[in-house]
Amino acid sequence: MGEKKFSLEELAQIVGGILTKASDVTIDKVAPPKIADENTLALAMNEDEIQNMATSKAKAVLVPLGVNLDGISTIEVERPRLAFMKLLNVFYIAPDTPRNIHPTAVIDPSAKLGQNVSIGANVFVGRDAVIGDNTALMPNVYIGKGATIGSDCLFHPGVNIGDFIKIGSRCIIHHGASIGADGFSFVTENPNNIEQARSEGAIKEVNTDVKVFKIPSLGSVEIGDDVEIGANTCIDRGTVENTIIGAQTKIDDLVMIGHNCRIGKACTIVSQVGIAGSCVIGDRVVIAGQAGLKDHIEIGDDSIILAQAGVSKSFPKKSVVMGAPAVLRKDFIKRLKYLDEAEIMVQKYKKYQHLLEDYEKFLNEDGKI
């Protein structure tokens, strides 16, 4: 920020807000009220930040609809967070992407590059790979053989795209992400501990000379348009079917998505989520941080899985689930209520415990027990 300058009228038009102008000021950045200066558009999107405007140096502020502040220019908006996104796009300075093709890049002669493709230092593009128009591959990106990358994509340094992976247009993949590694899939000659526990509920016989065989991954990964994938996230290829990520889905850093998973459109998956193999996630599902999903379960459209949930079974559409093992939110709250009631019951029992003991003693002495 600081390299671009706008009038209040221009910013009000960009965010579709109502401008009440108290002074003429040029804006070169946006910031919270506490650190804003005279050339900052302060962001007072909630009650706490509105209160902070009393001591702010800012002469202009973005506020929710209906908020007026004396002596300060205001831009009122109906959806502050949406306006916030538009403002940050205005002031955003894109990373420096390579120009043309760096001489240290290794590109197989059979690869097909679209128009205006940018390829950075030490990039590898395998045989028969296809890179769409205007896509930028920053240094140290690896593109496997037969991979297809759409147009207007941006891959940050260290991204690894496996063989035959298909990625749509306008996708952003951040540092160190791995797309298309083999799935975590193995088999033993004889039933192993996990199989015994599932079928019999206990581990009865242990084979100490177990042999574990890798199951090859013949499938691929298909990623739709406008997907963003965070740093160091891993998405494994399918065993036979493809692992699928729907269009508009946003995936945070450090997420693990197992083989054969099918993730719907416009989902939001937050950091440190782990999704085991062959899960089916509907459209517009939100999975909050550190949630874990068991293999072969389905989560219906428009569901929300709250943070640190341990999801071991399927849930229908529009479910809100939490806890470990995860249950519907209403049931979780009911259980908490039961725990509170149980605590009260224990306290009452302790209060009258001596009376119960005396009564039992009386019965014993009377010979009735």
Catalytic residue among 156, 259, 296, 354: 259
Q: Could you give the CA distance from residue 198 to residue 196 in angstroms, rounded to a whole number? A: 5
What radius of gyration, in Å, describes the C-alpha atoms of the chain? 29
Burial class (CB in 10 A: 0-12, 13-18, 19+), 242: buried
**Going by C-beta distance under 8 Å and a sequence separation of 6 or more, which residues neighbour residue 160?**
141, 142, 176, 177, 178, 179, 180, 181
354 is catalytic: no
Contacts of 167 (CB under 8 A, 6+ apart): 147, 148, 149, 150, 153, 161, 173, 179, 223, 227
Three-state SS string over 82-150 comes to HHHHHHHHHHCCCCCCCCCECCCCEECCCCEECCCCEECCCCEECCCCEECCCCEECCCCEECCCCEEC
Tell me the catalytic residues.
259
